[in-house]
Structure 1
């Protein structure tokens, strides 16, 4: 069983999640125009998001933007099969439709992965001090025989080739098939024999491509300026400009105390940089589509990206030192406030440009 030839996506920036290039290929196989930068930004990766656990006081940066509940041009739904045989049958049906099949499983069982049967993989999830969650890994399937499965695994493995049906079976059982992970964080969300179904809610063609990009950019900048704060259960979520402001406040508070949480705050500072990278990618693609209409904004964002790198280095080199002082903290604060102010102006300029130069479809 084999689908028609589709050039797989392997040229992927290192900061992209494993599912994005696979979803990109899936959408193309379904007849929609696709850009990886557009997928990431429809998923709101460019909106800074910061979370604080009010019970443990543990901070984190991740994609909590699903809480904002925006409509997208596509929807992903998890599908769980009752057994391996039924799952294989569904793969065949998908390939018959000439569509990429997306399987979820564990890298622990992939023979080409560094995680393959690696005790360090298990230890990293069960160590008493770990904050790591068990998550699904995404594989694209586009060919199936009686005893072999042809897979694409662009991130992080950059692998395209065959694995045995037995190896695929183990992968597809996933983290649930690793007894040592029974009590690991996140294991409750893992299912054996699961896949991702993609539902196109608005097929992207040359007729609506520019409008989809414009709507997405407006969404990103509007949410950045809004700076929403949301509480759900025992977590407080900070979005947009307020995310960086809250992280700055937390760093300052901890600096004047015992600094027990400082490594976690620095990790948040490191992770918060990525949202600017995803926005930059979106603007690069938009400059190609709109003949460099966003080139000045892109240039300003490049400067902001570099400032984030400088900020993290200062925090890592100076603020982590035992003999760091208020002068080091003041230097850090000045740069971070400069970044936040420049980002606010950047997003205000984006909204002004969109309002005065483009008529967006609803």
Structure 2
């Protein structure tokens, strides 16, 4: 057997982030780079709430983090100083040769494929529901076709050793046969041949990470501060951006729009409770993203910043409580005007707390001489 020596990755990672982030994080570390998972996953500004409302169809409003690109910032890889290049191998054997060469060089090898063939992936393994619901995520209901990524850290004649933390926290071996089926990907599953955008799924896909800037602890800490400052600034700015089909609300404007729809009688629509439950679930997730980066920043700074952490723990806790209350009461059909009034009051109070928090966070970070992330070329009109 050959393997990467002393490979001890973190398995306790948030299961709501993109599956590639822990792999990139570990790959950067294996190259001797300073890396923090919370920073990588927040450079996309996923902590900023975004609520998209189709014109004339408010009941079809949705939360879609991919719309954060409308704010005009650069790709997160540019801020961290890396580049990513995806490619495919013509045959399985050529791919295995590349896997072996990478491991011999003590480098993690990233591969894409279909979770439909992974036995430890209880949710998907040979599940007819995987075929039926292909492309529809459980969080938004938006159709998105992509690849699942895992990394290979060892191999022998019959098995490969993989690191696949999301969502199963798996670090162990799979047979060569299973790996082959996985690596062929979704495009090679016969039942998916006619699915929309199936051509976006890679066959024997891999990704190479090139480090263009090596971070010191000092430069990483500065990037932490810039990211936190940018998140707070965009939250308070509350941009409203019009695209072809929707109006997109960001930050406190997103919170305010969701609150406004609830206040305007949206809650009287049949089955609205299920939609609102999903919206609050996703808004709660924005706060989870922010909490992760704030925790690491506080730990690294080790000074008075726990004041901010304790305050934000209260805010995140309120979103947790609201989401749990709505989910339970909607499921049990215990929602009435009094219940919604209570949720609205709680939501309004939490919004005020969050606005105050971000105002003070901006004042604190600006006092350290920090500025926000620089933007790229914007192409949308901001109202």
Query: Which TM class, normalised by the smaller chain length?
Result: 0.7 to 0.9
Aligned with residue 79 of structure 1, among 87, 108, 111: 87
Distance in 2, matches of 1:45 and 1:97, equals 34
8 Å CA contact retained: 1:113, 1:157: yes
Residue equivalent to 2:250: 239
Contact 1:211 1:360 in 2 (8 A): no
Moved more, 133-142 or 253-262: 253-262
Q: Cα RMSD (Å) of the superposition? A: 2.9
Structure 1: runs of 5 or more not aligned: none
Q: Give the CA deviation at 1:205.
A: 1.7
1:74-113 matches, within 5 Å, as: 74-113=82-121
1:63 to 44, 65, 76: 65
Query: Who is 2:150 aligned against?
Result: 139
Give 1:323 shift.
Answer: 7.4
Separation in 2 of the partners of 1:345 and 1:186?
44
Matching of residues 28-43 of structure 1 within 5 Å: 28-43=29-44
TM-score normalised by structure 2 residue count: 0.83
Q: 1:187 to 1:253 in 2, by over 3 A?
A: farther
1:353 is matched with which residue?
Answer: 364
User: Given the alignment of the two structures, is residue 118 of structure 1 paired with residue 127 of structure 2, yes or no?
Assistant: yes
Task: State the distance in 2 between where 1:94 and 1:352 align.
Answer: 46
Which residue of 1 is the match for residue 380 of structure 2?
A: none
SS at match of 2:79: coil
Partner of 1:264: 275
Q: How does 1:307-322 map to 2 (within 5 A)?
A: 307-317=318-328
After superposition, the C-alpha distances for 1:101-148 in whole angstroms (9 at most, x for unaligned) are: 111111111122212212232233389x96564432211112234442
Q: Counterparts in 2 of 1:1-362, with a 5 A limit?
A: 2-54=3-55, 58-64=60-66, 65-68=68-71, 69-70=73-74, 71-73=78-80, 74-114=82-122, 115-125=124-134, 131=142, 133-184=144-195, 187-253=198-264, 255=266, 257-317=268-328, 324-359=335-370
**Does the 8 Å contact 2:229/2:371 carry over to 1?**
no
Gaps in structure 2 of 5+ consecutive residues: 374-383
Deviations 1:186-234 (A, max 9, x none): 5343222222332334322224222121111112112212222233342
Give distance in 2, aligned partners of 1:323 and 1:11: 35
* Kept after mapping to 1: 8 A contact 2:30/2:108: yes
Q: Shift in Å at residue 246 of structure 1?
A: 1.7
Bigger drift between 33-42 and 11-20 goes to 11-20
Deviation at 1:317, TM superposition (A): 4.8
Q: Is the 8 A contact 1:133 1:185 kept in 2?
A: no
The alpha-carbon distance between structure 1 residues 202 and 220, as it changes in their structure 2 partners (threshold 3 A), is farther
Alpha-carbon distance between aligned partners in 1 of 2:244 and 2:95, rounded to the nearest angstrom: 35
Moved more, 96-105 or 258-267: 258-267
State TM-score, norm by structure 1: 0.88
- Determine the structure 1 residue equivalent to 2:377: none
- Residue 67 to residue 78, structure 1, CA distance change in 2 (3 Å): farther
Q: What is the aligned residue count?
A: 361
- The CA distance in 2 between the partners of 1:53 and 1:182, in whole Å, is 30
**Alpha-carbon displacement from aligned partner over 1:29-67 (angstroms, at most 9, x marks no partner):** 122111111111112221112233448753332422244
The Cα shift of 1:290 comes to: 0.9
Alignment partners' CA distance in 2, 1:265 and 1:77: 38
Distance 1:344 1:247 in 2: 16
Secondary structure of 1:150's partner? strand
Matches of 2:90 and 2:56, distance apart in 1 = 37
Q: How many angstroms apart in 2 are the aligned matches of 1:105 and 1:53?
A: 33
Evaluate the alpha carbon distance shift between residue 80 and residue 59 of structure 1 in structure 2; reply closer, same or farther with a 3 A threshold: farther
| Cα distance between partner residues in 2 of 1:342 and 1:75 | 38
